[in-house]
Chains A and B, each alone.
Chain A
């Protein structure tokens, strides 16, 4: 039983990363109706930026904060400069898919070029949280810390989306872009904001993904994460931020428990999240928290 609980919490620790990336995917999907295949590699680049600042002598927490701000700006610029020209009602919707796939490869290559010296295998990310258990409850400090980061992320996002005028504008553009214009909202600014938020979430996700175990990471850091995060978003419902978080944690836990109990079938853990999703989507095609949109006319 103790082993089960340990593996459960390990799964939560990994699930936090899937949840953050899935949140980023959901934000872009809701504002632009687009699956951002480059999300994982954008997060990878942000992770290298965090690492670079720690390498310059900054502590990991300030380095992460700087990386979040820079990623926020870069995310907005990517929307404006790369995505906007190929996106829109009169353009072919597939071209933007190809663009994000191209960015997937390009950003990965660019990160390797800038940050990895020839002959270097992996980089070393300092750990965000101390090792050891939280006294009294027998859960690793790192897992509690990672869960807290996710909780803070969700809280800030919720405040932004539900309690501010700018969040209301963002949701209005996601709901009905034409009517949003008719009340005076500039949809372009909101799309930039959506991408900026997604990139900032990616910076957190990537840094969390690297900052565990030994802290060693390379350019393949986010590739499996992206696939699992897509799985998490599908599981939770692509239009639901809450679904993304719950989906991410479920995928993390499922992954971790499979490795523990069915580990003799090498690689089975890769198949489990997808089996899970298949079952859920058969029963609930919009995902666990996705809306079944009912509109009266």
Chain B
């Protein structure tokens, strides 16, 4: 059963419509990927899920209930963690404070245990625990943004261009880790990514977006075999 589903969602900013009756879904435990050129509406799709558009029609269904029209903070508390493009770290707060903020809406007592756990998984963050987040390198900030999202123990993780500005080796490592988290935790993810090859490797299902519409969809194997997709996004 699908954990997140968009049904004929249209919307955008100001008077401009970016999404045109867009429908997609990701099943529980799966990784979905959205491919598309710049300006196709990939970021806007993720923002539509989190209630961050000026206008939005259609329906967004999370875990069986509609979250259309809910406030962003309520959607976050419902279990959707969003790592925005540009990472959205709290630049003047420390690494430790950033991670604690990830867990700020949780009611349980597991914050300290989770902190230890993600510090172990991302040793660079542990070394920089007291440093201001904004003073770290792009790759480190991306790790921090993802670790912060995981601190909320989300049911759905939205990632917006996680590879943006990262060196190829770091991107590779990042996607390996994301794939591993999906396999071991069964965490559902929806990833927007320019690096289609890497994204399709960890994804189960993919969507190709052009000017606010889905123009192709299928399992990641189907998409990787599709000639148009290969030419446009995989470059061979």
Docked pose: A180 CA to B137 CA in angstroms: 21
Number of A-B pairs, beta carbon distance below 8 Å? 84
Taking a contact as CB atoms under 8 Å apart, the answer to whether B105 and A296 are in contact is no
Q: Known contacts being A185-B104, A294-B135, is A175 close to B72, with CB within 8 Å? A: no
From B71, B93, B101, B138, A297 is in contact (CB under 8 Å) with: B138
Closest Cβ neighbor of B77 among chain A residues = A184
**A175, A184, A293, A297, most chain B CB atoms within 10 A:** A184
Please report the C-alpha to C-alpha distance between residue A296 and residue B136 in the assembled complex, in whole angstroms: 7
Contact residues in B for A184 (Cβ distance below 8 Å): 73-74, 76-77, 104-105, 152
Q: How does the 8 Å CB contact mask read for B136-151 relative to A, with 1 for contact and 0 for none?
A: 1110010000001000
B100 contacts chain A at the CB level, 8 A cutoff: yes
Distance in angstroms from B104 CB to nearest chain A CB is: 6
Q: Is B134 an interface residue (CB 8 A)?
A: yes
Q: Say yes or no: is B165 at the interface (Cβ < 8 Å to chain A).
A: yes
With A175-B90, A181-B72, A296-B135 as contacts: A168 and B104 at CB distance below 8 Å: yes
Enumerate A171-188 residues with CB–CB distance to B below 8 Å. 171-172, 175-176, 178-187
Stretch in B81-89, B114-122, B201-209, B213-221 with 4+ CB within 8 Å of A: B81-89
Bound complex: CA A268 to CA B138 (Å): 52
Shortest beta-carbon distance, B105 to chain A, in Å? 3
Contact A294:B93 (CB < 8 A) given known A176-B88, A183-B101? no
**B92 interface contact, C-beta 8 A:** yes
A187 to B104, CA, bound (A): 13
Interface size for chain A: under 10, 10 to 19, 20 to 34, or 35 or more residues? 20 to 34
Query: CA of A183 to CA of B93 in the docked complex: distance in angstroms?
Result: 14
Given A178-B84, A295-B134, A297-B165: A183 in contact with B89 (beta carbons within 8 A): no
Within 8 A of A (CB), among B46-99: 50, 52, 71-74, 76-77, 81-82, 84, 86, 88-93, 97
B73 touches A185 (CB 8 A): yes
Given contacts A294-B135, A296-B134, A296-B138, contact A182 B72 (CB under 8 A): yes
User: Shortest 10 CB-CB distances between A and B: which pairs?
Assistant: A184-B105, A184-B76, A179-B88, A181-B72, A184-B77, A175-B90, A295-B134, A181-B73, A186-B73, A182-B82
Interface positions of B (Cβ within 8 A of A)? 50, 52, 71-74, 76-77, 81-82, 84, 86, 88-93, 97, 100-102, 104-105, 134-138, 141, 148, 152, 165
- Identify 5 new A-B residue pairs, CB closer than 8 A, beyond the known A172-B93, A175-B92, A183-B76: A168-B97, A171-B97, A180-B90, A182-B72, A185-B104
